Amino acid sequence: MTKRSGFIALAGRPNAGKSTLTNRLVGEKVTIVSVRPQTTRRAVRGVVTDKESQLVLTDLPGVQRPLDALTSRMQRRVERELGETDAVLFVVNAHEGVGAGDRFIAGLLRKANVPVVAAVNKIDRVSAPTLVRVLGAIGALQIADEIVPVSARTGEGIADLLAQLVDRVPEGPFLFPEDSVSDQPLAIHLAELVREQVLARTRQELPHAVEVEVEELTVRRDGMTIIRATIFVEAESQKGIVVGRAGKMIGAVGTAARAEIEQLVDGPVHLDLRVRVRRGWRGDEALLDRLGID
């Protein structure tokens, strides 16, 4: 039986739903999800395997204009991945339609010269006439071999999308073990689960000023996983928000994150969180190296 395998990069504007779509395609949560745009900071790979094919999905950061060392690294990663992938899944938010950002991405994809499948996501949120208009606007970009309407939230159109992607990867052996779902290091995954809970509870500029680093990860002989992590913010006022009055906010973050982590590691977890002010961390190249944002 001939097997097919290859890399698929997900490209799209911030908040197009790439992370939710990645998780839906993989069938497990491999990347965090937030209503905040620009949540994804690393190129997270999710692996989709069946008997005959394996797709390695790379959930890229949302394409944006670089503003500092952090966003410059994110943008360089996007451009590098586009140049090395077998095909691109171009994700467009049906609710927002095709905008200037989508047209900018279309220009990048033309330069990359790779097969493109467009997924019109969030179709559960739009009317049929609106969807028709969005489909026409994507067709006018003249970059996609196929355009597939989908809903990452409900699963509509996902089987058709997978079939289109499999058709665009080359024949060859699987790239990861068949039971793999991601190549993300466990410590990074755990840090992201904590950050997800901070994002869910904060507003305005704070989400973009927060990063998390796992500094200790051990498993005791009794099966308890011990995790000590630092939440970085850029100002004392932000620290006050994350800690909350009488520690209520950090307590809620820890409780929710621990529940997610216990499902992931399938066992009890002791999660110790602290909040530290590190001014200008988004421009700190050494810290970004340590955080795995390459």
Domain assignment present for 103: yes
Same domain, 53 and 147: yes
Burial class from Cβ neighbours inside 10 Å (0-12, 13-18, 19+) for residue 3 reads: middle
Average pLDDT over residues 246-257: 96
Assign residue 94 the CATH number of its domain: 3.40.50.300
Domain assignment present for 174: no
Single-letter residue type at 107: G
Single-letter residue type at 290: R
pLDDT (0 to 100) of residue 204: 62
Same domain, 72 and 211: no
Q: In the block, which residue shows the tokens 């970059």?
A: 143
- Write the DSSP string, 159-182: HHHHHHHHTTS-B---SS-TT--B
The pLDDT tens digits for 50-81 are 999 999 998 766 555 565 666 666 666 666 77
Same domain, 127 and 211: no
pLDDT (0 to 100) of residue 69: 64
Q: Quote the number of domains for the chain.
A: 2
The pLDDT tens digits for 190-226 are 998 998 899 888 876 566 788 899 999 999 999 999 9
Domain span at residue 103 reads 4-166
Same domain, 144 and 216: no
Q: Which residues on adjacent β-strands are paired with residue 7?
A: 56
Does 183 score more than 50 pLDDT? yes
Residues in the chain: 294
pLDDT (0 to 100) of residue 37: 47
Same domain, 33 and 130: yes
The CA R_g of the chain, rounded to the nearest whole Å, is: 20
Single-letter residue type at 224: M
Average pLDDT over residues 155-174: 96
Domain assignment present for 29: yes
Does 5 score more than 70 pLDDT? yes
291 vs 181, more confident: 181
Q: Which residues on adjacent β-strands are paired with residue 49?
A: 54
The pLDDT tens digits for 8-55 are 999 888 788 888 999 999 998 887 665 554 555 455 678 999 999 999
Closest CA to 279 of 14, 68, 75, 43: 68
The pLDDT tens digits for 98-157 are 999 899 889 888 888 899 999 999 999 999 999 999 999 999 999 999 999 999 999 999
* Residue 132 CB neighbour total at 10 angstroms: 11
- Biggest alpha carbon–alpha carbon distance for the chain: 61
pLDDT (0 to 100) of residue 40: 53
Dihedral angle at the C-alpha atoms of 99, 104, 91, 77, nearest 10 degrees?
Answer: -140
pTM of the full structure: 0.75
Task: Measure the CA–CA gap between 43 and 58, rounded to whole angstroms.
Answer: 6
